């Protein structure tokens, strides 16, 4: 197949629309089910690059959950703890394959943002992963292959219209890439930057103790940032992104946005949240929404007007600000990556509130000394990479 006609472009009024290879060669993908659209393919191709690089960097199966051309989550296939399995709503599925664990983590860290995602998998989609995907609200998936039973499971989704794309894992794109804006063609070399252990060797803080686990988490952060709309900041812990902030005009706003997502991920594991007793009729998405209200300041309004009876079997106790802060203070050893330098130390101060211990950023700000001083005041470890990772 040398070209694929699409229903429309970004918006329904943007016609005609298609994908094709400029040199006339065959497309490196096959559509096995459904009719993916313009934005579906943008998410699929960006997500595929991300998981391919995560697999190369860590040796582990990888998955990402993409929304609006940025990842809502990204992770590698480490086993799930009982707590994570419960807050990701997969504790009823038994022991999952490494690839399914990767997607459960990628989807689960920020379930609200992942709602209606496009999934990318580094490995052949197995039955465990397909079963997990089938019960989530999602637009489609791209992978290098599908087990026959897994493909049949996915074909049943969305009344048979679920988008399933197979990509040739041996495909290598041209060294130069092109983009057209307002009738004008831009050309640049592809961002083929390799992110390995040595990427974090230039440590500029007093504390220079960066364990292997932190380097893996920082690699996940930086690879995720390569495919996130800038400005972008990524918090990572235990092999998965737990907070991604993208597209803000201010770096501190990205740091705050991603930090709040990381905080919510940790708050979901608090005893007050784990003990919530939902009505059996409440689905996963509605539970996610209820938890978001519960850990936010809006929950006092829900308690006041009695709406809790529509969601919970037992009226929850108020999760006070003091209790939330005490729980958040237990979050530790979080890694943080930034696609460009931190211009002020306020980013570090905000990151510290979310348990950040390890930082990687390009450096090069006129206020680098201020940023380093902020790290030193909290005993944090920071590496300057010297490389920016903007993605537009």
Full pLDDT tens readout for the chain, 392 residues: 889 999 999 999 999 999 999 899 999 999 999 999 999 999 999 999 999 999 999 999 999 999 989 999 999 999 999 999 999 999 999 999 999 999 999 999 999 999 999 999 999 999 999 999 999 999 999 999 999 999 999 999 999 999 999 999 999 999 999 999 999 999 999 999 989 878 999 999 999 999 999 999 999 999 999 999 888 999 999 999 999 999 888 999 999 999 999 999 999 999 999 999 999 999 999 999 999 989 987 766 666 667 788 889 988 888 999 999 999 999 999 999 999 999 999 999 999 999 999 999 999 999 999 999 999 999 999 999 999 998 88
Say whether both 358 and 310 belong to one domain: no
Cα Rg, the chain, nearest whole Å? 21
CA geometry: angle 265, 219, 342, nearest 5 deg: 75
Q: In terms of domains, do 47 and 167 share one?
A: yes
pLDDT score, position 292: 92
Q: Tell me, yes or no, whether 285 lies in a domain.
A: yes
Asked if 234 contacts 347 with a C-beta cutoff of 8 angstroms, the reply is: no
Flag whether 292 is in a domain.
Answer: yes
Q: Does residue 178 have an active-site annotation?
A: no
**Residue where a domain stops, chosen among 154, 172, 190:** 172
Distance CA 99, CA 106 (A): 11
- 124 and 235 in a single domain? The answer is no
pLDDT of residue 198: 87
- For 158-168, letters b (16+ CB in 10 Å) and e give beeebbbbbbe
Largest CA distance in the chain: 64
Same domain, 9 and 108: yes
The reply to whether 85 and 36 lie within a common domain is: yes
84 and 158 inside one domain: yes
60 shares its domain with 78: yes
For residues 210 and 150, state if they share a domain.
no
CATH of the domain at 375: 3.40.140.20
Contacts of 79 (CB under 8 A, 6+ apart): 98, 101
Residue reference for tokens 């300041």: 297
Give the phi and the psi of residue 30 in degrees, each rounded to 5. -130, 135
- Number of domains, the chain: 3
Whether the CB-CB separation of 72 and 110 falls below 8 Å is answered with yes
Per-residue pLDDT, 302: 64
**Same domain assignment for residues 109 and 134:** yes
Q: Both 154 and 192 in a single domain?
A: no
β-pair partners for 30? 166
d(CA 291, CA 289): 5
191 and 113, same domain (yes or no): no
**Same domain as 275, residue 263:** no
In a domain, 391, yes or no: no
Determine the structural domain holding residue 286 and report its residue range: 271-318
Cα distances (angstroms) measured from residue 304 to each of 163, 278, 319: 43, 18, 14
Give residue 305's pLDDT.
67
User: For residue 229, how many other CB atoms are within 10 A of its CB?
Assistant: 18
Would you say residue 323 lies in a domain? no
- Which of the residues 40, 46, 55, 67 is marked catalytic? 67
In the set 68, 86, 158, 307, the catalytic residue is 68
* Beta-sheet pairing, 232-237 with 62-67: unpaired
Catalytic pick from 163, 231, 264, 347?
A: 231
Q: Does the annotation count 392 as an active-site position?
A: yes
Is 376 assigned a catalytic role? no
Residue 48's Cα: distance from chain center in Å? 13
What pLDDT is attached to residue 231?
Answer: 85
How far apart (Å, rounded) are the C-alpha atoms in residues 261 and 82? 21
Q: Tell me if 94 is assigned to some domain.
A: yes
User: What's residue 17's pLDDT?
Assistant: 95
- Is 392 a member of any domain? no
Q: Cβ(70)–Cβ(43) under 8 Å?
A: no
Q: Is 22 helix (H, G, I), strand (E, B) or coil?
A: coil
Q: Which of 11, 159, 212, 392 is catalytic?
A: 392
Would residue 68 show up in a list of annotated catalytic residues for this protein? yes
């Amino acid at each position: 197949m040398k070209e694929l006609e699409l229903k429309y472009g970004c918006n329904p009024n943007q016609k005609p629309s298609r994908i094709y290879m400029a040199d006339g060669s065959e497309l490196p993908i096959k559509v096995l089910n459904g009719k993916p659209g313009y934005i579906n393919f943008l998410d699929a191709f960006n997500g595929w690059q991300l998981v391919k690089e995560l697999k190369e960097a860590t040796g582990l199966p990888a998955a990402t959950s993409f929304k609006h051309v940025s990842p809502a989550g990204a992770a590698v296939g480490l086993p799930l703890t009982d707590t994570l399995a419960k807050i990701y709503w997969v504790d009823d599925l038994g022991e999952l394959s490494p690839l399914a664990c990767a997607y459960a983590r990628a989807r689960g860290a920020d379930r609200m943002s992942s709602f209606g995602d496009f999934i990318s998998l580094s490995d052949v989609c197995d039955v465990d992963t397909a079963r997990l995907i089938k019960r989530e609200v999602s637009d489609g998936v791209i992978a290098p292959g599908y087990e026959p039973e897994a493909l049949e499971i996915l074909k049943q989704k969305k009344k048979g219209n679920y988008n399933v794309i197979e990509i040739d894992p041996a495909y290598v794109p041209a060294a130069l890439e092109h983009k057209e804006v307002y009738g004008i063609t831009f050309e640049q070399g592809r961002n083929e930057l390799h992110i390995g252990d040595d990427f974090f060797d230039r440590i500029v803080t007093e504390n220079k103790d960066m364990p292997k686990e932190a380097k893996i988490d920082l690699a996940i952060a930086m690879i995720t940032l390569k495919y996130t709309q800038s400005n972008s900041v990524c918090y990572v812990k235990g092999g998965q992104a737990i907070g991604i902030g993208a597209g803000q005009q201010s770096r501190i706003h990205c740091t705050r946005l991603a930090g709040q997502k990381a905080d919510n991920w940790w708050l979901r594991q608090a005893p007050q949240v784990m003990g919530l007793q939902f009505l059996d009729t409440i689905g996963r998405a509605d539970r996610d929404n209820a938890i978001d209200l519960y850990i936010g300041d809006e929950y006092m309004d829900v308690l006041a007007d009695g709406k809790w009876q529509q969601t919970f079997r037992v009226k929850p106790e108020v999760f006070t600000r003091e209790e939330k802060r005490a729980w958040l203070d237990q979050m530790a050893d979080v890694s943080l990556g930034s696609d460009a330098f931190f211009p002020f130390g306020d980013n570090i101060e905000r990151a510290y509130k979310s348990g950040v211990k390890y930082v990687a950023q390009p450096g090069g700000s006129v206020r680098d000394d201020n940023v380093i001083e902020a790290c030193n005041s909290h005993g944090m470890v920071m590496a300057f990479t010297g490389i920016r990772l903007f993605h537009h």
